[in-house]
Amino acid sequence: MSIWWSLHLRREAASVPLARRLLLGTMETAGVDPDISFDLSLALSEACANAVEHGGRVAGPGCGVPGAGAHDGSGVPDGWADAEGAGDADDADGSGAYHVTAYLDGDRCRIEVSDSGPGFPAATVARRRPSLAEHGRGLHLIEELADHVRFRNRPGRGAVVSFDKMLKWRDDALLKVS
């Protein structure tokens, strides 16, 4: 059995705890170990906060980061989709939005946050940033909390943060992998 959900959220600070609470509730109901749930919820909060702060459209042609290549060390299992198509639609009110998708499948949880902003700087995508830099500490925290992380750009269409973590289960878990 597996669980997945997807949210289309406005780029507002109030959306961050909404996404976090939905993830925590899902994992608690499924029977995921509370420490794993906490790590993933903190990583999700950082990714959502980044999308709220930086994920808006940039005026003018060529928004996005040209030539930024993706570094993929994710080890994503076959059959797990990327949020490739997420974030393509403009909002009617122009306020901007971002998308969160979570998959609990077997012994792994995968989370993707995508936005429609200018994308990550090339150094972020290539993972060449000092951990004590003024900006980017949240991304470093995501890397520390998750097992596999991928930052990538969709030139002219925004950025995607994907991360996954192996799950541990409570003894009374509903979805415990046998």
In the predicted model, is pLDDT for residue 28 greater than 70?
yes
Q: What is the 3-state secondary structure (H, E, C) of 113-178?
A: EEECCCCCCHHHHCCCCCCCCCCCHHHHHHHHHCCEEEEEEECCCEEEEEEEEECCECCCCCCCCC
pLDDT tens digit string along 151-174? 999 888 899 999 999 999 998 887
Q: Which one has a higher pLDDT value, 178 or 72? A: 178
Q: Model confidence at 35, in pLDDT bands (50, 70, 90)?
A: very high
pLDDT tens digits along 77-135: 334 444 444 434 444 434 489 999 999 998 999 999 999 988 887 777 666 555 555 66
The reported pLDDT for the residue numbered 119 is 86
| Predicted local distance difference test score (pLDDT) of residue 165 | 98
User: What does the pLDDT look like over 62-79, one tens digit per residue?
Assistant: 333 333 333 333 333 334
Predicted TM-score of the model (pTM) = 0.76
Burial 96-105 (b: 16+ CB within 10 A, else e): bbbbbbbbbb
The answer to whether 50 and 139 have CB atoms below 8 angstroms apart is yes
Report whether pLDDT(30) > 50: yes
Indicate the Cα dihedral angle 116, 152, 8, 22, nearest 10°.
-150
- Kindly give the interhelix angle for 137-145 and 34-54, rounded to the nearest 10 degrees: 150
What is residue 54's predicted lDDT score, i.e. its pLDDT?
A: 87
